[in-house]
Each structure stands twice: as C-alpha cells, then as structure tokens.
Amino acid sequence: MLNKYINAIRINGFVKINNFLSKSEINKAISFVEDSYKKSRMINIKGVPKRDKNDKIVYNLQNKNLFFIKILSKKTVLDIGMYFLNDPYYRYLPKSKPNFNLLYYNARSSGNKLDLHIDSYVPFKGERTIMMQFVFLLEDSTILNGCTTAVKGSHKSGEFSDRKSKKIIPITGKAGDLIIWDSRLWHGTLPNINGQSRWALVATLGMWWIKPKMNFYKTLPNNIYKKCSNLQKQLLGFCSIPPNDETERINTKCGYQFLKKNIYEYKL
C-alpha cells in the first residue's frame, strides 16, 4: 500500500488514505481541539489574514498535548515523509530514521473560500519536493462545508497557481481520512456554504533546513518534551537547531546524542 500512496503523490500530487484515524482518536482529537479553541478565543492573536476571519484555528498543536505528536509519529506518516523529504546525506542520523522536521501544526475549520495557491512559496520542477501537507480529517469534508480543492498534476508545472484553471476538482473525505499533498500542488478550498464545522489537523512537514513558522523549541512545554522519544524530538526540530556560535558547534545538523535532557536549556 505504501508504494500505492507514494505513486499517487508522485503522479497526481496528492493522495487520500481512508480510515487512517480510529473513532477513539477522532473523538479525543476533537475534544482537545474544541477545548483549545474556546481558550484561544480569549487571546488576541496578531497578524491573522482577513481571509481567515471566519475560520476556526488552533495553533501549535504540538504544544497542546503529546497525543498530537504521536499522530505525526505514525509509521505511514514517517515512511511517506522519509521517501519525499529525507536528506540522503544527513550523516548524523541513521538512514532508517526521519531527518525532516515539523514546520507548522494547526487545527482548522474553514469558512471562506481559499483561492488556488502553493505552499512551497516558490514553484519548481523535479521529482523531489521540500515540503508536504498532512491533513487528518476529524469531521466529514464535503463540497457544502468547504472541502479542499486541487488541480491534479499541477505540482509538476513549475509555475505559480492559475486561479482561473478549469481543471479544479474537489477532494472530499470522511472523518478519519488522511489527505497528503506535495506543497507545490495548486490547491485551495471551497466556501463553507452550510456553515457546518469540518475540523482537521493540518501539519506541514519539510526538509531539515527549512525554517519552521514558529519557534517550537522555545515554546514546547517541558512536560511534553520529557515524554517525547528521540525520534519525536527530532521531528520537532531539536536535531537541527542552529548553534549560538562556533564554541557550541559548527553544524546545524545533529544526531540524537546532541539532544539535551531539559528543554529549558534551549530557552536561555
């Protein structure tokens, strides 16, 4: 099945894996997300784009509960991530382990239409990508509640998205499904017509040298950090933190042996 998923991403730019999350995982995730969203509404979040004004968003899921990190650590996610995102010349970790990092991890229920765009920031051609989106559906995603849209094969174009494209298709899914796409894929969302929520966990994973959108290693709670495995700490970027200067080390890339025992050392 893994080869089937990989080939779909290589050819179409995306794949949907049915029933990836169990019902208990879905219920647990929704409970955490809705509780976090209620709390976040009390916070004045700066820099939110106008297009997101009707969206429900919970930022930095990795800081909320170890459960969300465990979802990213599932074997299929790691295997697909390693195929597309691992640096084959990363000498400090075994080739059988991931060396890509988490770049962004939110929960989202969209409201407004989102025009076609790419998440890689710059278009480029080639078999290898540098970033991918992993979207874990917690509720059904339909045409009426604003499902994801995409143009098949557009990740191969080497161009920015054509928002007037006639080849846009909807990508619907059921609660528990996992949708993965190459960040070069032209994609967007339909408007949420019926107003029903469609919560999903949205994780952006990228090659080790890409800067994450938030400073994970200075904000991750210590109680979560201590429960993470070395693999999970690496996934959160703790093996590719730039050194302060040459007296610390001269490589950004590190191995598990460089992981510190207490996260507070990273916050100094």
Residue 204 CA to residue 120 CA, distance in Å, equals 10
Does residue 49 have a pLDDT over 90?
no
Residue 47 pLDDT level (bands cut at 50, 70, 90): low
Are the C-beta atoms of 151 and 116 separated by less than 8 Å? yes
Say what the alpha-carbon torsion angle 213, 124, 78, 114 is, to the nearest 10 degrees. 60
Task: Decide: pTM greater than 0.75.
Answer: yes
Residue 96 CA to residue 185 CA, distance in Å, equals 27
> What per-residue confidence (pLDDT) applies to 218?
87
**C-alpha distances out from residue 193 to 16, 163, 243, Å:** 23, 20, 49
Total tally of structural domains belonging to the chain: 1
> What per-residue confidence (pLDDT) applies to 40?
76
**C-alpha distances out from residue 18 to 21, 62, 174, 176, 263, Å:** 9, 24, 8, 7, 36
Average pLDDT score over residue span 71-90: 97
Are the C-beta atoms of 113 and 146 separated by less than 8 Å? yes
Average pLDDT score over residue span 22-45: 88
Residue 265 pLDDT level (bands cut at 50, 70, 90): low
Average pLDDT score over residue span 138-142: 97
Q: Strands 131-137 and 178-182: what pairing?
A: antiparallel
Does residue 22 have a pLDDT over 70?
yes
- Give the domain range for residue 175: 2-267
Residue 207 CA to residue 18 CA, distance in Å, equals 26
Does residue 39 have a pLDDT over 90?
no
Q: What is the CATH number of the domain that holds 123?
A: 2.60.120.620
> What per-residue confidence (pLDDT) applies to 110?
85
What one-letter code names the amino acid at 50?
K
Query: Which range is least confidently modeled, 4-8, 177-181, 203-207, 214-218?
Result: 214-218
Average pLDDT score over residue span 157-167: 96
> What per-residue confidence (pLDDT) applies to 14?
98
> What per-residue confidence (pLDDT) applies to 43?
66
**C-alpha distances out from residue 205 to 1, 44, 136, Å:** 21, 27, 13
pLDDT tens for 185-226 read 999 999 999 989 999 999 999 999 999 988 888 899 999 999
Does residue 267 have a pLDDT over 60?
no
Are the C-beta atoms of 120 and 49 separated by less than 8 Å? no
